[in-house]
Amino acid sequence: MNTADYNHIVNQVSDGLFRYALKLTRDTESAKDLVQESFIRLWTNREKVETDFAKPFLFKVLFNKMIDDKRKNKRISLMETLPEKASANTVFGEDKNLIEYAFAQLDEKQKNIILLRDWEGYKYDEIAEILQISLSLVKVNLFRARKKMQQIITNTDLDAKKEYK
C-alpha cells in the first residue's frame, strides 16, 4: 500500500470508524484515540495489509484496542444508543427512543454485530473476522439480537417507550 492508497482509505473510512468507536466507548476523546491508533497500526503494517482488506483491518484493530483498553482500565463501556445516523425522529417506522431502549437491552456482542451489519454494512464473514468469532456465531447472534429487539419493541408498554432517552 502506498501513501495515496492510505490517504484514500483514511478519507473513505474515517467517519464510519469514528461512529463505531463512539458507540463502543460513548466518549468522544476515547473514540478519537481509538481511530488514530487504528490508522497508525494500518500505516505501520502497510506492507502487510492489502488495500482491499484495509477497512476490515481498521475495524478489527479498533475493536481489539477498545477491548484491551477496557481490560486495562477495568471499566465496562456499554453502548446505550443507536448510532445517530438517522436525522428524523423515527427509524424504520418505529419511535427512535423505543429502538434505542431495545438496543440497550442487548449484550455487548449482539450490539457490536448489529452495528457492524446493519449500520456499517459489513458482510457476515467480515464481521466474523473483525470480532474474531465463527461465521455461525455471527449469524446466530444477529438473529437473536434482532428477535430480542423485536420482542422488546412489541412488549414494552407505551409509558416506558416514551420515557427512555
Model confidence band, residue 154 (pLDDT cutoffs 50, 70, 90): confident
Tell me if 121 sits within 8 A of 58, measured CB to CB: no
Q: Is 153 exposed, middle or buried (0-12, 13-18, 19+ CB in 10 A)?
A: middle
Q: Enter the CATH code of domain 1-75.
A: 1.10.1740
Residue span(s) of the chain under CATH 1.10.10.10 come to 89-165
Model confidence band, residue 98 (pLDDT cutoffs 50, 70, 90): confident
Q: Write the class of the CATH domain 89-165.
A: mainly alpha
Question: Per residue in 38-61, pLDDT tens?
Answer: 999 999 988 888 888 888 899 989
Helix (H, G, I), strand (E, B) or coil at 105: coil
Tell me if 62 sits within 8 A of 17, measured CB to CB: yes
Higher-confidence position of 78 and 157: 157
Instruction: Assess whether pLDDT exceeds 80 at residue 161.
Output: no
20 vs 35: CA distance, rounded Å: 9
Instruction: Assess whether pLDDT exceeds 50 at residue 4.
Output: yes
- pLDDT of the residue at 24: 82
The arithmetic mean of pLDDT across residues 19-29, rounded, is 87
Residue span(s) of the chain under CATH 1.10.1740 come to 1-75
HSE (side-chain half, CA atoms, 13 Å) at 74: 0
What's this model's pTM, rounded to 2 decimal places? 0.52
